Amino acid sequence: MTQTKPDYKLFDKDTRAIVFGYQQNAIQRMLDFDYACRRETPSVACIVNPTREGMHKCFWGTKEIMIPMYRTLKEATTKHKDADVMVNFASFRSAYETTKEALESKTIRTVAVIAEGVPEKRARHLAKIAKDKNKWIIGPATVGGLAAGKFKIGNTAGTLDNIITCKLHRPGSVAYVSKSGGLSNELNNIIARNSDGVYEGIAIGGDRYPGSVFVDHIMRYEKNPEVKMIVLLGEVGGTDEYEIVDLLKKGKIKKPLVAWCIGTCSKVFPAEVQFGHAGARAGAERETADAKNIALKDAGAIVPNSFEDFDKKIKQTFDKMVKEKKITPQPDVEAPKIPIDYKVAMKEGIIRKPTEFISTISDDRGEELLYCGVPISKVFKDDIGLGGVIGLLWFKKQLPKWATDFIEMVVLVTADHGPAVSGAHNAIVCARAGKDLVSSLASGLLTIGPRFGGAVQGSADHFTTYLYAGHDPAFMVKDMKKKNVNIQGIGHRIKSVTNPDVRVEILKKYAKKHFPNTETLDYALEVERLTTSKRGNLILNVDGCIGVLTCDMLRSIGYSRDQVKEFVKLGILNAFFVLGRSIGLIGHIIDQNRLKARLYRHPWDDILYDLPSKPEKVK
Amino acid sequence: MAQRGVREYDAKHMLAKYWNDYVSKDFSYTGKVALVDPKTDMDKLANTHPWLKKDKLVVKPDQLFGKRGKHGLILLNATYADAKKWIKERMNKETKVGKVSGTLTHFLIEPFTPHKNEYYIAIKGNREGDTIYFSNHGGVDIESVWDTVAEIHIDIDENIEKRDFQKLLPKDTPQENKKIISDFIKGLYTFYDNLGYTYLEINPFAIENNEIVPLDLVARIDDTSEFEHTLQWGPLEFPAPFGRNLSPEELFVKELDAKTGASLKLTVLNPKGRVWTMVAGGGASVIYADTIVDLGFRDELANYGEYSGDPSTEFTYHYAKTILELMTKEKAPKGKPKILIIGGGIANFTDVAKTFTGITMALREFKKKIIDSNIKIFVRRGGPNYQEGLKIMKNLGKELEIPLEVYGPETHMTRVVPMALEGGKQ
């Protein structure tokens, strides 16, 4: 480690850190602080993220920069020898190992351990390693700390607004140390309002065995000529404050020390109440906040009567030093303007932007997923079923039961039609070629169109065209004949008037019983009467039946004839077929894979090879 | 959390379970312990612990308090029938132990072992490592015989196999006991060190027929090390310290707290107190309570309360409602208003306006009761979006026509305390 800083200085304007853990917000906040301080280089040298490597993009003022990200600390320390701080966001489970590794590296001198709940035994061990190696730990269980105008650990000092208000973008003359990270922000505020501001502030963390203790930092401040006065915020429990008392008595702390220990109220509490911090419990009289405050005062610290006077004591002490010319107040410096984050600005309602996408059917942003305004829990509570969900997402309507049941019937009826039809055949061939499920399914679905499965769509189109135009069935039959177009949905290979298709019978019966409007079906049945009089198998087939009944369903739930025509054009009928038949196609794919069916090759003898002896020559 | 007491039963049970792994195979501990709680069927207990009906027994409460003999809470040399009767008489009864009153709910039963000498051992963690204390004169207040105690310091990460404990024992240790005692010390330390203990005291224990008999044991375990010891510990309970029963409101807040990752705390100190606090943040809440006490209003302080870690609107609403319910149970004393301090430091990242939403909902609901109880409200808070938050509060005061003063970071955190209590603005 090439150390250029004096022992008492952990951070300066060139300090660079390795951030362990992919804490994007904390990283951005560190960089924003750097920018506000007019640092030349970002304080984050690199990131260690055990699950990803590469580059992390973040803002440097108005520009974007890239910060390298590695999987191991070893790589990070090897490539960034100038980084002597690690900000460790590892969880309480892994904070010990990662901190130990950092302390054992050649280049890292200071580790800030953010995690709460590091076992005491581990924290104690880390503190020992640090001491043996003459290194520093801040934490565990802390937000960290900062050197004003120089370097900031992770999330310390809150938002940029607060940083500027508390003048933390440039150094003042007062250094503080506290246990609590939560209160450090209040200290920043108090010190900024009652002096020329914070020089450095460290929150050592509320655990029983913090990696560095009050006195460690106070002695650094004592040695640092840029620090003019020191502020301590101690706490009930433990005896660490007495080390300061001893040093005061020995005259080793010469700078004014304004101190207060919180928890003076513990005397009025029942014995069993535990405050927030792990160490905060007075086991003996000596450990009470009152006893500590008295001891500090007796030893020469400036101790208020209550937290209530804390600000005044700081101000008095500071003003006195200014008067005695012991402090030249640091000038205020204007911070460069930093653009507000888009997300924050959006939240505060001070910017707007046009959207690129519109969604009118579902919303995943809130507490609960919404289908057309219906929370997913209600979907289950009301048991609206698959048909109900299709109603919400396709038609944006809460459909009556007869309609949702009809939709489900359509799915069931179209689910499969054996392995020989185009879709299934394609899916099977594809699966047997070793392709994955999604590819095989897509291969099958791609056959659906005008010839395969398309009769559903086609019949809806044909019948509504003539019906809505006001033509009678006889005209339609004659007109189609004249145009030499087969009426889609009419005709079956085997079934006939005398041998009806049971699927068609079920659907027709259901519609007659439940549909308020069956105008298309009635029209189609009239057509069927005419066509079957010519030939027995020219019946309304299952595709045709689904086609016309879907149109009737749409009319029955309140859509106009124009809207129904639009749905037909949008391909809604194919959609029903695609949805239903996907079930069967997936079945065939799974079936083939389960059977370990081998690659399919069509036999030669099933192909007529009829090639010319040579190609025709184009002149 | 941190170091927490465990039941004597659990520690002894664990000691027996890991005796051979960590303590010694040369001598033993029977591990005969049984725990009785309000749900225990004592006849069934005797089936799983047959010694209960054969041995003479010792019975005592197992609720993290000591000096049970002094408080007449120990039954010696008893039959199982005696034990059942004794427990039945005390189970679920409010009992005063020293200054603290609480309900007895857990009892430990062990065999009664007649013995000659009593010894003292304790192991305690500190920043430099652990210290073992041993004396040949246990069973008494150890402070009174402190000069007989040998202190053995174990460094962090020290290999204790290299230490000769026999040499470190007190001078008055009989030669014939030196080996078993030093082996026990080493073994007990290994047990302590391997299972996440931070404090283990057996005062006294006896040595009878090559058996260690721990008579009275106190233990604390570092609960943050749970992830390292889950399998070893099995299901391990960290009971609340023995003390007064929680009021329904305190219990309700405790349940809320358990349901969220955020923190919600409420302790009622004096239900008739005039000054109530509802403060954001662990540190700030202590400071507000401190200041009220420091300024001489300790008898008026009604509660200690804290919410932090960004609780949802619903949780803050219920929390605020609970405090308002407690506050409005009784009218303010004549001539003096009741005070509610909605305080806090400068939040790091919590959206202040958002956290106030739940509180404003509760205040709105309690409008009439707030007026009837003559409550004055003081708000002080800073942090992200605090201007909006304070504006919301200010407007609410006007809307509800209740006395409500609002301050931000420009006002010292606790200044609202003298303003509220000593009257008049600064």
What pLDDT digit, counting tens, does each position of A169-186 carry?
999 999 999 998 889 999
CB nearest B281 (choices: A117, A182, A272): A182
Binding-face residues of B in 206-265 toward A, CB within 8 A: 222, 224-225, 227-228, 240-244, 263, 265
Interface touch A307/B290, C-beta < 8 Å: yes
Peptide bond into B235 cis (omega under 30): no
Interface touch B125/A262, C-beta < 8 Å: no
DSSP letter, residue A268: G
Of B237, B264, B267, which Cα lies nearest the Cα of B250?
Answer: B267
In this structure, are residues B285 and B306 in contact, taking their beta carbons and an 8 Å threshold? yes
Chain A positions touching B281 (Cβ under 8 A) are 182-183
Q: Which of B290, B292, B295, B307 to mutate to test the interface with A (most CBs of A within 10 A)?
A: B290
How remote is the C-alpha of A599 from its chain's centroid?
43
What pLDDT digit, counting tens, does each position of A540-570 carry?
999 999 999 999 999 999 999 999 999 999 9
Residues 6 or more apart in contact with residue A556 via CB below 8 angstroms: A403, A515, A516, A517
The CA distance from B309 to the nearest CA of chain A, in Å, is: 10
DSSP letter, residue A600: P
Size of interface A-B (CB pairs under 8 A): 175
Q: What separation in angstroms does the CA of A457 have from each of A546, B62, B237?
A: 9, 78, 66
Alpha helices in B107-225 (DSSP H): 165-168, 175-194
CA neighbours closer than 13 Å in the CB half-sphere of residue A547: 30
Residues of chain B under the 50 pLDDT cut: 424-426
Per CATH, which fold does B3-233 belong to? Answer: D-amino Acid Aminotransferase; Chain A, domain 1 (3.30.470)
Given this model, what pLDDT does residue B357 score? 93
CB nearest A208 (choices: B2, B99, B196): B2
DSSP letter, residue B311: -
CA distance B348 to A186: 10
- Find the closest chain A residue to B349 by CA distance: A158
- Find the closest chain B residue to A240 by CA distance: B127
Mean pLDDT of A585-602: 97
Given this model, what pLDDT does residue A271 score? 61
Given this model, what pLDDT does residue B336 score? 87
The CA distance from B409 to the nearest CA of chain A, in Å, is: 7
Domains in chain A: boundaries: 16-323, 362-413, 415-419+449-593
In this prediction the pTM is 0.82
Q: Which of A96, A118, A146, A183 to mutate to test the interface with B (most CBs of B within 10 A)?
A: A183
Say which CATH class A16-323 falls into.
alpha beta
Chain B positions touching A189 (Cβ under 8 A) are 345-346, 382, 409
Q: Considering chain A, what percentage of its residues have pLDDT values greater than 90?
A: 86
Strand order in the sheet with B279-280: B263-268, B303-308, B279-280
Interface touch A278/B3, C-beta < 8 Å: yes
Instruction: Assign A54 to helix, strand or coil.
Output: strand
In this structure, are residues A227 and A199 in contact, taking their beta carbons and an 8 Å threshold? yes
Given this model, what pLDDT does residue A283 score? 57
Domains in chain B: boundaries: 3-233, 248-423
> From 3.40.50.261, 3.10.129.10, 3.40.50.720, 3.30.530.20, which CATH number describes the B248-423 domain?
3.40.50.261
CA distance A557 to B80: 77
Say which CATH class A415-419+449-593 falls into.
mainly alpha
Largest CA distance in chain A: 119
A452-453 and A448-449: which strand pairing? parallel
What pLDDT digit, counting tens, does each position of A244-290 carry?
999 999 999 999 999 999 999 988 887 655 454 544 444 578 899 99
Of A20, A44, A200, A24, which Cα lies nearest the Cα of A113?
Answer: A20
Given this model, what pLDDT does residue B100 score? 83
The CA distance from B269 to the nearest CA of chain A, in Å, is: 7
CA distance A358 to B32: 71
* A277: annotated active-site residue: yes
CA neighbours closer than 13 Å in the CB half-sphere of residue A37: 30
Ramachandran class of A263: left when φ > 0, alpha when ψ lies in -120 to 50, beta otherwise: left
Given this model, what pLDDT does residue B83 score? 97
Residues 6 or more apart in contact with residue A588 via CB below 8 angstroms: A416, A419, A424, A427, A428, A431, A444
What pLDDT digit, counting tens, does each position of A432-486 carry?
999 999 999 999 999 998 888 888 999 999 999 999 999 999 999 999 999 999 9
Q: Considering chain A, what percentage of its residues have pLDDT values greater than 70?
A: 97
Instruction: Assign B63 to helix, strand or coil.
Output: coil
Interface touch A265/B100, C-beta < 8 Å: no
Chain B positions touching A276 (Cβ under 8 A) are 263, 265, 282-283, 285-286, 306, 308
How remote is the C-alpha of A225 from its chain's centroid?
46
What pLDDT digit, counting tens, does each position of A147-167 carry?
999 999 999 998 898 999 999
Q: Looking at the complex, does the CB of residue A97 fall below 8 Å from at least one CB of chain B?
A: no
Interface touch B289/A271, C-beta < 8 Å: no
- Which residue in the list A277, A425, A492, A588 is annotated as catalytic? A277
The CA distance from B279 to the nearest CA of chain A, in Å, is: 13
Interface touch B2/A278, C-beta < 8 Å: yes
Radius of gyration of chain A (CA): 39
In this structure, are residues A141 and A118 in contact, taking their beta carbons and an 8 Å threshold? yes
Residue A524, beta-bridge partner list: none
Residues 6 or more apart in contact with residue A442 via CB below 8 angstroms: none
CA distance B68 to B38: 20
Interface TM-score (ipTM) > 0.90: yes
Given this model, what pLDDT does residue A408 score? 96
Q: Looking at the complex, does the CB of residue A264 fall below 8 Å from at least one CB of chain B?
A: yes
